């Protein structure tokens, strides 16, 4: 497996959509369709879509993670984040999120919120690392199994910290 330092986080392009969609299918009970990602990419002015890319064994670039943010005035909503199951726990999610939030802060965003399944302890742990705290519950929010959503928020983005997380490698 290539060194994680070769990871490159960049804005999503049309050609990435099938790969990003495949990662989401492997990661979520309610994955986004290619159509939804295409809409976000091309028609939602509030959306910022990112991918994490690394070289595969043949030296070919491979998309291993995706991030979708919505920026509404000075607030960011994390709409989707997923890392390919074969590449988890290598700080890819952290670097992807740090880069996306850093860019959002450069656009003037100050705070961030998201919903996460009550049982999704991995994602909650990632968000806590960034300083997110639990601010509420949306009962039976997820339509597949009626699982509650935990609402988490980060009051104030800190660019210095995001720079550090963005470069943090294993």
Ligand X SMILES: CC(C)(COP(=O)(O)OP(=O)(O)OC[C@H]1O[C@@H](n2cnc3c(N)ncnc32)[C@H](O)[C@@H]1OP(=O)(O)O)[C@@H](O)C(=O)NCCC(=O)NCCS
The residues of the shown chain that bind ligand X, judged by CB under 6 A, are 27-28, 81-83, 88-94, 116, 120, 122-123, 125-126, 129
What sections of 3-150 are H helices per DSSP? 17-27, 34-43, 92-106, 121-129
Considering the complex, what minimum distance in angstroms separates the CB of residue 28 from ligand X? 6
Q: Whats the size of the chain, residue-wise? A: 170
Considering the complex, what minimum distance in angstroms separates the CB of residue 117 from ligand X? 7
> If we measure between CA atoms, which residue out of 48, 79, 85 comes closest to residue 65?
85
In the residue annotation, 141 being an active-site residue is answered as: no
Please tell me which residue in 34, 115, 141, 142 is annotated as part of the active site. 115
Of the pair 18, 108, the CB lying nearest ligand X is at 18
Instruction: Output the residue with the shortest Cβ distance to ligand X.
Output: 93
In the residue annotation, 115 being an active-site residue is answered as: yes
Integer-rounded Cα radius of gyration of the chain: 15
Q: How far is it, in rounded angstroms, from Cα 68 to Cα 16?
A: 13
Of the pair 88, 118, the CB lying nearest ligand X is at 88
Of the pair 48, 91, the CB lying nearest ligand X is at 91
Do 107 and 49 contact (CB within 8 A), yes or no?
A: no
Q: How far is it, in rounded angstroms, from Cα 109 to Cα 25?
A: 29
Considering the complex, what minimum distance in angstroms separates the CB of residue 20 from ligand X? 12
Considering the complex, what minimum distance in angstroms separates the CB of residue 58 from ligand X? 22
Which positions are catalytic?
115, 127
């Amino acid at each position: 497996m290539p060194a994680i330092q070769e990871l490159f986080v960049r804005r999503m392009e049309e050609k990435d959509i099938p790969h990003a969609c495949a990662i989401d299918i492997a990661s979520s009970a309610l994955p986004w369709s290619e159509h939804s990602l295409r809409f976000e990419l091309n028609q939602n002015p509030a959306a910022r879509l990112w991918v994490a890319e690394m070289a595969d064994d043949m030296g070919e670039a491979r998309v291993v993670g995706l991030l979708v943010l919505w920026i509404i005035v000075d607030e960011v909503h994390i709409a989707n984040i997923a890392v390919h199951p074969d590449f988890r726990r290598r700080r890819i999610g952290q670097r992807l999120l740090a880069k996306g939030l850093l860019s959002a802060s450069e656009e003037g965003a100050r705070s961030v919120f998201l919903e996460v399944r009550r049982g999704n302890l991995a994602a909650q742990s990632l968000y806590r690392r960034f300083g997110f705290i639990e601010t509420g519950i949306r009962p039976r929010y997820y339509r597949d199994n009626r699982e509650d959503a935990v609402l988490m928020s980060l009051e104030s983005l800190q660019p210095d910290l995001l720079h550090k997380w963005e470069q943090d490698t294993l």
